[in-house]
Amino acid sequence: METARLILRPFELSDAAALYHYAKNPKIGLNAGWQPHQDLAESTSILKNVLMADQTFALAFKLTPDKIIGSISIKAPTKDFMAADSAELGYWLAEEFWGQGLMTEAVRAIIQHCFNDLQYGSLWCGYYDGNDQSKRVQEKVGFTYQLSRTVDVTLLHENRLEHFLKLNNPNGNEM
């Protein structure tokens, strides 16, 4: 997929060094619910076992498609209040690219893919309390607040307040 400035493409093993460079930053992982990466081997393992999944995309600038700057994924719903015909979005962006509208651009492309190609009835997205950047992205693209819950953040061994927002498919009915 392409946007005005970005390419959304599958991850490749050659992305491991760039992934480690960005994912070792505590601001990235802790905001997203995972520990900062400790070394290149950990990033390579996560790349192989998590990020090289179907419907998980590396974000890169069109002019430098081999250098990733973030990730966005579409996954099956994980919470009991999410309908069977819905999906969840998750994303992160390297800190040096925050505030440029890049993630908003990528999320808009993923929304179109989810509704037009994959035919989901609705999409869900969440953010942990205090992650105002993620909240702003979700609101800019049309997600609306639904509820908040304290959730177990397994990878961090803690509980956090998570806010859930929803976007219905404008082309059809939700279940």
The ranges assigned to domains in the chain are: 6-168
Query: pLDDT at residue 167 above 90?
Result: yes
Amino acid 29: pLDDT: 87
Confidence of residue 147 (pLDDT cuts 50, 70, 90): very high
**Which pLDDT belongs to residue 116?**
95
Tokens representing 164 are 């859930």
pLDDT of 175 strictly over 80: no
The domain defined by 6-168 folds into Aminopeptidase (3.40.630)
pLDDT band at 146 (very low <50, low <70, confident <90, very high): very high
Whole-angstrom Cα distance, residue 20 to residue 57?
A: 16
Identify which of 34, 56, 32, 25 has the alpha carbon closest to the alpha carbon of residue 127: 32
3-state secondary structure of 100: coil
More confident residue, 33 or 95: 95
Across 22-32, average pLDDT: 91
pLDDT single digits (tens) 37-92:
999 999 999 999 999 999 999 999 999 999 999 999 999 998 899 999 999 999 99
Average pLDDT over the chain, rounded to whole? 94
The DSSP string of 13-68 is GGGHHHHHHHHTSHHHHHHHTSPPP-SHHHHHHHIIIIITSTTEEEEEETT-TTSE
Distance of alpha carbon 109 from alpha carbon 107, whole angstroms: 5
What pLDDT score does 173 carry?
Answer: 52
Instruction: Report which of 149, 133, 148, 144 is spatially closest to residue 166, judged by C-alpha positions.
Output: 144
Confidence of residue 23 (pLDDT cuts 50, 70, 90): very high
Residues of the chain above pLDDT 70, percent: 98
